[in-house]
Amino acid sequence: MKINDIKSQFPIFSKKINGKSLVYLDSSNSSQKPISVINRLNDFYKNEFSNVGRSIHSLAVNATNKFEETRVSVKNFINAKSKEEIIFTKNATEAINLVASTFGQQNIKDGDEIIITELEHHSNYIPWHFLRENKKAIIKFAPINEDGDILIEKLKELITSKTKIIAITHLSNVTGTIVPIKEIVEIAHKKNIPVLVDGCQSAPHIKVDVLNLDCDFYAFSGHKVYGPTGVGILYAKKKWLEILPPYIGGGAMINEVKKNNITYAPPPEKYEAGTMPTAEVITFNESIKFIESIGMDNLIKHENEITNYALEKLKKINSVKIIGNPKNKAGVIAFTIKGVHPHDIATILDEDGVAIRAGHHCCQIFHEKMNLVATARASIGIYNTKEDIDILCKAIENCIKIFNLK
By beta-carbon proximity to another protein, the closer residue of 3 and 22 is 22
Interatomic CA distance for residues 350 and 187, integer angstroms: 44
For 370, phi and psi rounded to 5 degrees? Answer: -90, 10
Interatomic CA distance for residues 288 and 70, integer angstroms: 9
140-148, 243-251, 292-300, 355-363 -> range binding another protein (CB under 8 A): 355-363
Interatomic CA distance for residues 35 and 45, integer angstroms: 16
How many C-beta atoms surround the C-beta of residue 285 within 10 A?
21
Binds another protein by CB under 8 A, chosen from 18, 58, 76, 212: 18
Q: How far is the CB of 400 from another protein (least distance, A)?
A: 12
194 scored as a contact of another protein (CB under 8 A): no
Question: What do you get for the CA distance between the two ends of the chain, in Å?
Answer: 40
Angle at 314 between CA 313 and CA 319, to 5 degrees: 135
Report the site for another protein in 375-404 (rule: CB under 8 A).
Answer: 402-404
Report the site for another protein in 285-344 (rule: CB under 8 A).
Answer: 339-344
Active site residues: 362
348 scored as a contact of another protein (CB under 8 A): yes
CB-CB contact of 363 with 120 (8 Å): yes
By beta-carbon proximity to another protein, the closer residue of 180 and 359 is 359
Size of the site for another protein (CB under 8 A): 20
37 scored as a contact of another protein (CB under 8 A): no
Burial of 122 (0-12, 13-18, 19+ CB in 10 A): middle
252-260, 286-294, 357-365, 386-394 -> range binding another protein (CB under 8 A): 357-365
88-96, 102-110, 188-196, 351-359 -> range binding another protein (CB under 8 A): 351-359
CB-CB contact of 110 with 135 (8 Å): yes
347 scored as a contact of another protein (CB under 8 A): yes
Q: Which residues bind another protein (CB under 8 A)?
A: 18, 339-344, 347-348, 351, 358-360, 364, 367, 373-374, 402-404
